[in-house]
Structures are given as C-alpha cells and as structure tokens.
C-alpha cells in the first residue's frame, strides 16, 4: 500500500476556513446550496423581526429577544455549513500551495538549428521545442526524452526521495516539468505549452476552486431540494391550521420549524464529503482529474489488471536456456544473447547477463550492421536480422510458431512440452528461433506479489470481478491467475483485446477500471470508466486516463476503488443520519407549537422538554451544532471494510439510521436542561 501523506488540519487551515465561511455568506455563492440558502433566507427574516418584531403582526411585538436568539442560531447554522465546506477546500488549497512552491522560474536550454543551445526563460518554450537538461538542472516543462538516459528526482511531485531512471524509447521516457536531473544529460522534446504542464493541472485540481458536482451529488442535491420544497409547503399550511384551532404561530417559530425539518445536516456536509473524497485520493498520491472519476470508483464492477508489474513483480528475468531436441545448450545461449544485445527491456538485459554468468560474452562489434527489431505488441516478437541474412526471433510460443511456419520450418515435437513446463512453474516461456528452426525456450521467471491473493479476496467480497490481461500464453496466465486468486484472464492479449474486454463488460451494464502506462494502453484507458495512468508512463497514457498515480504503482487501483466505495458509503451514511434526525425533531417542536391549543399534544412530548420556547430553541441549537460534530466523519470518511453492498447497507442503517434516531433525543434533552435556567433569567 502506498504511503499516505499526512495533511492534518493545522491552525492556518482553520483560520483560512473561518474567513472563507464568512465569505460564503454571500447569497450569490450560497444559492449553489439551496438547502442552506433557505436557512440564510430564514436568518434575514428573523433579523428583520429582531429589529421590528411587529412588522408582520402586532401580536409578535413582545418576541424581540426570542427572535434575536432564533436569528443568531440560524446565522451560526449557515456559518457551520460554510465552515464544513471551507475546511475541506482548505486542505486541498494547502496542498496546492505546497506544489506552487516547487513551481520555480527556471531557465531552459533549447537547441537551435545549428545544434547550439541558448538560455531562455522556461515560460517562453512552445510545444515541440527540443531542450537539453544537464545534471542539477530543473526540467523546464513536460516532455519526452528523445536522447540519453538520466536519473530524475521527482520528489517535488511524488514525495518519493529516490530518483527514477528516464530514458529515450519505451514507456519510461515521459518527464514532468518541475522535477530535476540528478545525473547525466538528456535531450527532451517539450510536449505542452507554458501553463499546461502536469504540475499546473495538479495545482488547479487540488485547489478545487472550480470543482463540478458529480452526477450522484446532483441527484442527491435534487432530492434534498425536493424535500425542502415539500416541508416549505407543509409549513405554509400550518399558518391557516393554527388560526383554525385558535393559535397564532409566530413567523420566527415557523422559520425555526422549517429549518429543523429540512435536511440541513446533509445539506451542509454534502460538498465537504465530495471534496474530502478527492483529497483522500490525493493522500494516496493519486491525482483525480474530476470528482466523477472518484465517484465512479465506488461503483466499479470490474477491474482490468496487467499481469507484469501489477499481479507479478514484473522483473521477469532470464533463469534458464532450455534447448529442444537436437539443439545444444551452447547454441540456444549464443543466439539468445545475440538477439538481445540491443534489447533494452529488463528481459533482454537479463538474457545477456545470464549468458555472461554461464560463460558466453558476445562480440558486439560483429553485429554493428545488424538490424535489431524492438518488441512489437502486434507480432509479440523481437529479434535481429543479421548481415548474412539470418533472422533471429524470440517471442511467445504461438508467434514464433507462426514465424517458423512462414519460413517453411518444422515445429519440434518437444516444444509444447517445454513451454508447458515453464508455464506450469508460473514463468514466462520465451521461444527462440533462427530462420525456420526453433532452438528452444528461454525461461523468464516471475513471481506473484505477496499479499495480493488476500486483497483480491477483499475485492471479490465487494462484488467486484477481476480480469488479468497478459501477453503470456494461456497456461502461464492460468497458473498466475490461480495463484493470485483472479477471477478471469485473457492470454496473449493485444491492446485491441483490452478494449474488447472493457466493451464486453460495459455492454453488460458494468463500470470498468483499469491501469496502464504505455502509449498502447491509451485507447483502453480512455474507454474504461476509470483509467489510472502511471506517472512514469507516456504522456499519451496520462492524457487518456482520468487519474494519474504519482507513485506508478499499478496495484494502487485497489486502494482507489476502496476510496470510491468509502465516498459513496460516507455520503449515504450521513444522509441516513440526517433524515433519521428529523423524527426526534418532530417530537420536540411540533408538540411545542400546538400544546397550548391542544393539550392532548402533551402525550407527544416524550422528552419532557421544559416549555414550548425551550423545545424550539433546543432543537434549533442541536440542528446547528450537529454539522461541525459530523465534519470529522465527512473529512475522514466512514470506516470501511470490504463486504457485499447488501450487508454494508444493513450495517450503516443500523449504525447511522438508529444512531441518527437516538442521538437527537439525547442531545435535545441535554440542551433543554442547560438552557432552561438561562432563558428564565433572560425572561424568554
């Protein structure tokens, strides 16, 4: 599991949140939260009544102090709701400020047409410019290494102190502006214009200044507005009902009743829950491009996983050269090493190293004119065309068989047995051929990461299916899938196959998540409902995804899905708690309103509150203070354990439903006991 960044709520964040809470009192801002906006309207009406109590009715002339108390409580209620949102935003802005400190004014060394360099300000660079970055210099903007290899310190973004290797070609060529070169020199092609770097995007995202509401938030907000309108109609009808039974209901009392009955608690916490969800993702060093991406994680049904680097360690290293019948160990070793001299992948390098350990060192000067072929995801082979016309190829069993058959060769009888033996061991069999002749199998050893089986069991308990995609043959894939506890696998998988798998799941109405780092992963990342790109990956992958993992840990997808689940559960739990609160408020405030005209209503005063006035004020105070009391839960999230959705629903109904029902009875009664003597002294 990735380390979490500690971002406690310090005094600076609290101070800024307090200031922001007052700024958000602006009705233009508050109108975005209709429930709390209604409370603010109530505040202004009671403020008017506090100044001139008899403005609407002469019967209310002696209610000035009561109106002032109601007015102050409503003001504090709005302030608390604003504070909850502001403190969630403040944590994101604190992280943004930290990132801004790393965005320094840097000097770049762009290449001129004559091959010389000139120093310019990094902000003047344009997409497509070629720059040289030397040891100790800061990379001026996002780009791709097109020449050279260097160690790059990315701690300004990832928080990791260990430098990472960046080199031309492959999936580890992308570099990020603001990071700096620790050793060597690289040539970079700038891929974005000034102000559009990944660091700039991170700052904008974590600030959350323009955070859009997610679909679930919009739906819940619509429900809350609907409930508010229903209660508004109910309160309006109480006025003629009161007159009918001979009771004059003061306007401030009706406003207090309305505020207590509408879902103010969840209305005040809704935005904070959404912002905090994105913040929790950021703590895991994952940057979400939108709140919708985080929310989608909570609804994920299927996770697509690569084998190498995700399920297994990924450092598939050559362990053994296994010749087929009629081929010597020396012959397969020699041609394996020759085919890998220019293969810069970990597998290729390990083949050369294994040859050296076994006593064979190739003379590279003999192969300067040879044509080396990089691995292709389409052909699933790599190799070399020698100057004398010989073709050496290594790759998956099926692809090499196809190559040999195209060269009119014969497949050895014992090849399948040797491939199967390596596959049953959980390794990757790399078949080697020269022209139309198969020489044998290179055993690439890989290992399932410890603890993954238990984590996949947790994922399964959530009702989520896991599918492993791998370029290995079916037997290897099956062995690894069984060992890791994965539900399904797709062997000899191409980039097109990944898209097909994602579409197949989506056509069944499922939401799909996947990780990737290469350019060939970009289409699948774009197709998935949640695509997590590795920060070490290509720019194409990062642009196609809606999340970027700064630690480049492919297993991070498991944590992100759990955070998404936690976000939805937190929102549901606090909504349940808020609505359950209303039941106690009915028993507190409605008897208080009608008890004078209808003495029989005393039977509903089960809390035995001191008087109608204390009942109204106690309920209103509880309604206000419950918002800041729930802020820690909104920010931290409800404690989450992997389980089926039905069990999670029952658990939360038991805790937050029953808890939301009982807590107000206790809280309102305690407040009533405390304020009764105070109100008597004040003469209210």
The pLDDT value given to residue 7? 46
What separation in angstroms does the CA of 485 have from each of 167, 332, 481?
A: 35, 35, 6
530 - beta bridge partners?
513
Hey, CA dihedral for 330, 333, 339, 344, is it positive or negative? Answer: negative
Alpha helices, H only, 103-197: 155-158
Q: How far apart are CA 160 and CA 179, in angstroms?
A: 12
Binding site per annotation, positions for Mg(2+): 517, 521
Q: Residues 149-164: what's their mean pLDDT?
A: 72
Q: Which long-range contacts (CB under 8 A, 24 or more apart) does 39-45 make?
A: 39/74, 39/77, 39/78, 39/81, 39/259, 39/262, 39/264, 40/74, 40/78, 42/74, 42/255, 42/256, 42/258, 42/259, 43/71, 43/74, 43/75, 43/78, 45/251, 45/252, 45/255
Output the six-digit token pair for 469: 């995609």
| pLDDT, tens only, 236-284 | 888 787 777 777 778 888 898 899 888 888 888 888 887 777 777 777 7
Is 212 a residue whose pLDDT tops 70? no
> Which pTM was predicted?
0.66
| Mean pLDDT, rounded, of the chain | 83
Residue whose entry in the numeric block shows the structure tokens 């928080």: 159
Say if CB 21 and CB 578 are below 8 A apart. Answer: no
Q: How far apart are CA 331 and CA 322, in angstroms?
A: 11
What is the 3-state secondary structure of 397-436?
Answer: HHHHHHHHHHCCCECCCCHHHHHHHHHHCCCEEEEEEECC
- Give the alpha-carbon dihedral of 624, 629, 633, 639, to 10 degrees: -120
The pLDDT value given to residue 592? 73
Q: How far apart are CA 459 and CA 301, in angstroms?
A: 10
| pLDDT, tens only, 13-71 | 788 888 888 999 999 888 888 999 999 999 999 999 999 888 877 777 788 899 999 99
In this structure, are strands 530-534 and 186-190 parallel, antiparallel, or unpaired?
Answer: unpaired
Q: Is residue 183 within a helix (H) or strand (E), and if so which, with residue range? A: strand 180-183
Is 210 a residue whose pLDDT tops 50? no
Output the six-digit token pair for 549: 């993992």
Q: How far apart are CA 620 and CA 143, in angstroms?
A: 57
Q: How far apart are CA 441 and CA 429, in angstroms?
A: 6
Q: Is 120 helix (H, G, I), strand (E, B) or coil?
A: strand
What separation in angstroms does the CA of 273 have from each of 4, 94, 137?
A: 19, 18, 41
| pLDDT, tens only, 435-494 | 999 999 999 887 777 788 888 888 888 788 999 988 777 877 888 888 888 999 998 888
Alpha helices, H only, 358-410: 397-406
Binding site per annotation, positions: 343, 347, 375-382, 394, 517, 521
Under the phi-then-psi rule, with left for phi > 0, alpha for psi from -120 to 50, and beta for the rest, what region is 248? beta
| pLDDT, tens only, 339-368 | 998 887 778 888 999 999 999 988 888 888
Q: What is the largest CA-CA distance in the chain?
A: 112
| pLDDT, tens only, 372-385 | 888 776 778 889 99
Q: How far apart are CA 224 and CA 435, in angstroms?
A: 71
Per-residue pLDDT band at 559 (split at 50, 70, 90): confident
User: End-to-end alpha-carbon separation of the chain, Å?
Assistant: 58
Catalytic positions: 306
Q: Is 212 helix (H, G, I), strand (E, B) or coil?
A: coil
Cα atoms in the 13 Å half-sphere on the side-chain side of 439: 23
Alpha helices, H only, 110-249: 155-158, 198-207, 215-244
């Amino acid at each position: 599991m990735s380390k979490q960044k500690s971002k406690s709520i310090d005094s600076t964040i609290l101070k800024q949140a307090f200031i922001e809470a007052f700024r958000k009192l602006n009705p233009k801002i508050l109108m975005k939260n209709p429930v709390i906006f209604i409370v603010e309207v109530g505040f202004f009406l009671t403020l008017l009544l506090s100044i001139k109590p008899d403005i609407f009715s002469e019967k209310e002339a002696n209610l000035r102090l009561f109106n002032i108390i109601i007015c102050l409580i409503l003001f504090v209620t709005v302030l608390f709701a604003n504070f909850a949102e502001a403190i969630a935003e403040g944590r994101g802005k604190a992280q943004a400020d930290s990132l801004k400190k790393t965005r320094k004014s840097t000097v770049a060394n762009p290449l001129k047409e004559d091959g010389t360099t000139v120093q310019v300000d990094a902000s003047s660079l344009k997409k497509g410019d070629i720059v040289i970055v030397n040891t100790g210099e800061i990379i001026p903007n996002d780009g791709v290494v097109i020449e050279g290899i260097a160690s790059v310190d990315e701690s300004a973004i990832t928080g990791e102190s260990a430098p990472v290797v960046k080199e031309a070609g492959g999936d580890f060529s992308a570099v990020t502006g603001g990071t700096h070169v620790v050793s060597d020199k690289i040539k970079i092609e700038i891929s974005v214009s000034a102000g559009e770097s990944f660091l700039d995007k991170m700052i904008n995202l974590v600030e959350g200044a323009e955070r859009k509401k997610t679909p679930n938030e919009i739906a819940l907000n619509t429900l809350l507005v609907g409930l508010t309108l229903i209660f508004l109609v109910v309160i309006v009808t109480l006025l003629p009902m009161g007159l009918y039974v001979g009771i004059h209901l003061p306007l401030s009392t009706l406003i207090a009743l309305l505020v207590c009955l509408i879902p103010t608690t969840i209305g005040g916490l809704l935005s904070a829950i959404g912002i905090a969800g994105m913040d929790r993702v950021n703590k895991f060093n994952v940057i979400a491009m939108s709140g919708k991406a985080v929310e989608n994680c909570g609804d994920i049904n299927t996770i697509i996983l690569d084998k190498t680097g995700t399920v297994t360690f990924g450092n598939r290293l050559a362990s053994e050269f296994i010749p087929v019948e009629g081929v010597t160990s020396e012959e397969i070793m020699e041609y394996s090493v020759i085919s890998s001299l220019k293969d810069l992948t970990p597998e290729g390098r390990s083949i050369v190293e294994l040859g050296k350990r076994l006593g064979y060192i190739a003379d590279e000067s003999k192969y300067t004119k040879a044509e080396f072929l990089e691995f292709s995801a389409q052909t699933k082979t790599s190799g070399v065309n020698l100057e004398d016309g010989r073709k050496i190829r290594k790759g998956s069993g099926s692809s090499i068989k196809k190559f040999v058959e195209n060269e009119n060769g014969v497949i050895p009888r014992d090849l399948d047995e040797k491939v199967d033996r390596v596959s049953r061991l959980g390794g990757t069999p790399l078949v080697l051929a020269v022209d139309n002749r198969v020489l044998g199998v290179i055993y690439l050893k890989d290992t399932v990461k410890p603890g993954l089986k238990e984590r996949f069991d947790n994922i399964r308990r959530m009702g989520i299916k896991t599918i492993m995609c791998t370029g290995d043959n079916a037997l290897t894939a099956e062995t690894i899938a069984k060992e890791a506890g994965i539900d399904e696998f797709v062997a000899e998988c191409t980039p097109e196959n990944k898209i097909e798998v994602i579409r197949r799941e989506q056509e069944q109405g499922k939401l799909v998540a996947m990780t990737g780092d290469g350019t060939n992963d970009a289409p699948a990342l774009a197709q998935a409902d949640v695509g997590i790109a590795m920060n070490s990956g290509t720019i194409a992958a990062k642009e196609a995804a809606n999340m970027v993992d700064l630690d480049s840990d492919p297993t991070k997808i498991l944590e992100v899905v759990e955070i998404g689940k936690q976000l939805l559960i937190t929102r549901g739990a606090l909504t349940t708690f808020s609505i359950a609160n209303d039941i106690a408020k009915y028993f507190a405030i409605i008897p208080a309103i009608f008890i004078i005209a209808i003495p029989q209503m005393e039977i509903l005063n089960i809390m035995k509150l001191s008087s109608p006035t204390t009942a109204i004020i106690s309920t209103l105070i509880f309604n206000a203070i419950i918002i800041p009391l729930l802020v820690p839960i909104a920010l931290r999230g409800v404690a989450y354990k992997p389980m089926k959705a039905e069990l999670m629903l029952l658990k939360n109904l038991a805790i937050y439903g029953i808890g939301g029902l009982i807590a107000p009875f206790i809280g309102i009664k305690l407040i009533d006991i405390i304020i009764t003597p105070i109100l008597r002294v004040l003469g209210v």
